[in-house]
Structure 1
């Protein structure tokens, strides 16, 4: 473990002990140098160092087209656009991931208990899950847009995304 300086939404600074989300086994692994070469600075900070992008900074928050949101780190499909909703928080929000797409872990930083959500294939930090979402799950997956890519569904392909089996 290392002592890290956390910046949340560019406003509050707190020194906290942080367990790296990438501890564990993932199908896709890269060195720090490889991740840095693949990602922009903000993408690296969010996805590998578990920082948070500034609220309202992601164009994906206002995206309304049909399609799939995938992991920027490994292209694994994570969320169907049909589960996205406007939470009013300034971050893309979903009430449920695709099957076998994400992993979670406890986050006890900032003197509160939250649940982090990560890509199950490469371990990239996506955001947090809260219990104030809409039905049917009651969950709000509040995600950093820089952790995601958006793949627009072709009209005839939209149902194929929803009906395909989960990747293993």
Structure 2
């Protein structure tokens, strides 16, 4: 019995000191990086909450949710083009929804903020939080729904 206890203790100590326990996720660097003070000067309070603190605006609160004009949606923080209006659709969710992003401009990450893994969408230039991706989008296109906070976007009308 003493030997089993010693063996279990040894195994426990080995597992607690494994590399997997001590390694940390490397922080990605972005093309545009600013301090919190700089972001707060540049963004409105709701934009800062969404983009820098990964917050969520209230459903149906963004004027961009019902925008039907042709153009491009850009990051409100750094003006990187993120979504084309031709890929926007009415998901009924209360947030602007797109079935795809402009290639290489939106980063897919994972967040566990509500207790399980979700695909988080970020601006690939400044790291600003945009929203989340779900697999309940239009089946006749990509099947994806990029559910985006309107506060994270600005719209540039096509001339």
Give TM-score, length-normalised by structure 1: 0.77
Name the Cα RMSD after superposition.
Answer: 0.8
Tell me, what secondary structure is at the counterpart of 1:82? helix
Question: What's 1:53 paired with?
Answer: 57
1:151 to 145, 149, 156: 156
2:37 to 33, 37, 41: 33
Structure 2 alignment gaps of length 5 or more: 1-26
Q: Which of the two has higher C-alpha Rg?
A: 2
After TM superposition, give the deviation of residue 24 of structure 1 in Å: 1.4
After TM superposition, give the deviation of residue 137 of structure 1 in Å: 0.9
Question: What's 1:86 paired with?
Answer: 90
Question: Where in structure 1 do 4 or more consecutive aligned residues deviate above 3 Å?
Answer: none
The CA deviation string for residues 14-48 of structure 1, in whole angstroms up to 9 with x for no partner, is: xxxxxxxxx41100011110000001111111100
The answer to whether structure 1 residue 105 and structure 2 residue 105 are counterparts is no
- Aligned-partner Cα distance in 2 for 1:77–1:98: 7
- Aligned-partner Cα distance in 2 for 1:130–1:51: 17
Structure 1 alignment gaps of length 5 or more: 1-22, 155-168
Question: What's 1:126 paired with?
Answer: 130
1:136 to 141, 151, 156: 141
Give TM-score, length-normalised by structure 2: 0.81
Bigger fraction of residues in strand: 1
The CA deviation string for residues 104-150 of structure 1, in whole angstroms up to 9 with x for no partner, is: 11111212221100000000000000000013211000000000000
Bigger fraction of residues in helix: 2
**How many residues end up aligned between the 2 structures?**
132
